[in-house]
Chains A and B, each alone.
Chain A
Amino acid sequence: MTECLGAAAVAAGVRARAFSAESVTQAALARIGARNPALNAYTDVLADRALAEARAVDRAIADGADPGPLAGVTVGVKNLFDIAGLPTRAGSRINRERAPAAQDAVLIRRLAAAGAVLLGAQNMDEYAYGFTTENAHDGITRNPHDEARVAGGSSGGSAAAVAADLCHVALGSDTNGSIRVPASFCGIFGLKPTYGRLPRTGSFPFVFDLDHLGPFARSAADLALVYDVLQGADAGDAACADRPVEPAMPSIGLDPAGLRVGLLDGWFRDVAQDEARAAVDAVAQALGAVPVTLPGAEQARAAAFLITAAQGANLHVASLRGRAGDFDPATRDRLLAGALLPANVVLQAQRVRRWFAEQAAELFARFDILLAPSTPCSATLIGQQTLRIGGADLPVRPSLGLLTQPLSCIGLPVVAVPVRRFGVMPIGVQIVAPPWQEARALQVAAWLEKLGVVGVV
């Protein structure tokens, strides 16, 4: 009945009593039961809690109350978000020994306050350090479009669940591309907001300087709807900006004519395969974009790579000393190497961020939106070790973020959109805006969807 309805349509139907939140939730749980054993998108399905929340929404409506703009919309969250009663595992074995969370993460509470129904926690790379969701402890999340391929990562379970309609929207995290890469591979929309826009309170960290949280959805309008509910300052996250809510929904549907759009060249084409270039070219043509260079992208990617390794390692140094054997071997080796980096290198990497942010600011004086592919290629095969880029064979796990890392390194807001292609695997494009201009990027994404250039297939 509600299969493949978007979040806004579900909420409208529930509020109009066309169908109940409970029936929507029952249908979603049935789809999870049918498809999750193969996809492995969820690590925890919270059926009792979900049904209780759905019935509460239905009761509120029956009592004449307004349950909120997400009434009856089903959501899932990457398993690094605190969920009351569950240990926050963050894809690890070690964290399962933690005490159950006392309360939900702030963003889950905001969703619940808007009427959303939490279905469960979703698979990810261990401690968010990866781009493929090939998790040694919880298994591999498979791509709904081809189960022989990865879903991307590290928020792979969340993206796969949205793509397979196992929830209407989901929350993920993005330190180096962990929303945008799986959105690209699974053919859905994802938003990495400006650094500091959404509070991370109640989520397990990876790299304090680079961690962002954000939503996935099956349309740009649904992404904006959820994003607006998530906004607002929170004192629990020192990096969360004290900014007012700046709603994106009023911009949805407006013609972005007049915006100056740049198509990033140089690094952003050099490390992309032909299919990624074709995808971004299709979007660029629709928007009348002109080629433009963002100097220092390769160095910014390097800075993100180094800061991630060093801060990630330091966060886990006690476990690396005492129980290295309990990590996923791929994560362990990367973290141990990060622990060995000289301070001089890490500090230089931090200063390169500032320098690169100034390069981007100069570009945004001349352009309102920048475009780049989300990933160098479409979804890789499960177990694939190398990727051919620019005549070289690069390791898959660290290389899938080549195009996302320079942008998150300086905290720019990005909407990842799926370019409409048929008979082939999906691939995404990044719509990049200046800091705090998420609404502009979402406006462009929605317009491209209206034109039929991007959208879920």
Chain B
Amino acid sequence: MTDVPLIDQLAIAAVLSINPDHKPGVALNLERLLDQARLVMAVELTEAAEPAPIFTP
């Protein structure tokens, strides 16, 4: 484990530097996203549920 806050760990992984003044707003929105993430992660999907890409070679 690390003492680095989650938002900073994720920013490192995403190769982003977040201005400290912006962090409260980003954290609030991340919290909202993670609430929604819990909803979709709880859906039981079959292997037939493909991720619906539209890329055309």
Q: Which chain A positions have C-beta within 8 A of B7?
A: 340
User: Would you list which residues of chain B between 2 and 37 have a CB under 8 Å from chain A?
Assistant: 7, 10-11, 13-19, 22, 25-30, 32-33, 36-37
Q: Is B1 an interface residue (CB 8 A)?
A: no
A355 and B55 within 8 A (CB): no
The yes or no answer to A336 lying at the interface (CB within 8 A) is: yes
Determine which of A339, A342, A353 lies in contact with B16 in the assembled complex, contact meaning CB atoms within 8 Å: A339
List of A residues within 8 angstroms of B19 by Cβ: 324-325
Contact (Cβ within 8 A) B33 A338: yes
Determine which of A320, A332, A355 lies in contact with B43 in the assembled complex, contact meaning CB atoms within 8 Å.
Answer: A355
Is A320 a contact of B40 with CB atoms below 8 Å? Answer: no
Interface residue from A302, A329, A339 paired with B40 (Cβ < 8 Å):
A302
**Most chain A CB neighbours (cut-off 10 Å) among B13, B18, B42, B53:** B18
**Which A residues from 366 to 418 make CB contacts under 8 A with B?**
395, 398
Tell whether, in the assembled complex, residue B30 and residue A354 are in contact, meaning their CB atoms are under 8 Å apart: no
Contact A296–B16 (Cβ < 8 Å) = no
- The count of chain A contact residues (Cβ–Cβ below 8 Å) is 43
Q: Which of B10, B16, B52 contacts A354 (CB 8 A)?
A: B52
Complex contacts, B27 vs chain A, CB 8 Å: 337
A341 and B18 alpha carbons, distance in the complex (Å): 15
Enumerate chain B residues within 8 angstroms of A333, measured Cβ to Cβ.
22, 25-26, 28-29
Number of A-B residue pairs with CB-CB distance less than 8 Å in the complex they form: 107
Which parts of A325-353 form the interface with B (CB within 8 Å)?
325, 329-330, 332-334, 336-342, 345, 347-353
Q: A321 touching B17 by the CB < 8 A rule?
A: yes
Residue of A nearest to B55 (CB): A238
Asked whether A336 lies within 8 Å of B22 as measured between CB atoms, the reply is yes
Q: Which of A305, A317, A355 contacts B49 (CB 8 A)?
A: A355
A103 at the interface (CB under 8 A from B): no
A53 to B19, CA, bound (A): 48
- Distance (whole angstroms) from the CB of B56 to the closest CB of chain A: 4
For B32, give its contact among A239, A353, A354, A398 (CB under 8 Å): A398
Verify A238–B56 contact, CB threshold 8 A. yes
When distances are taken between beta carbons in the complex, the residues of chain A under 8 Å from B25 are 329-330, 332-333
By a CB distance below 8 angstroms, the chain B residues around A337 are 26-27, 29-30, 32-33
**Interface residue ranges, A against B (CB under 8 Å):** 208-209, 238-239, 296, 298-299, 301-303, 305-306, 309, 317, 320-321, 324-325, 329-330, 332-334, 336-342, 345, 347-355, 357, 395, 398
8 closest cross-chain pairs (CB), A and B: A333-B25, A337-B29, A350-B51, A340-B10, A302-B36, A302-B39, A337-B30, A351-B49
Which residues of B are interface residues toward A (Cβ below 8 A)?
A: 7, 10-11, 13-19, 22, 25-30, 32-33, 36-37, 39-43, 45, 49-56
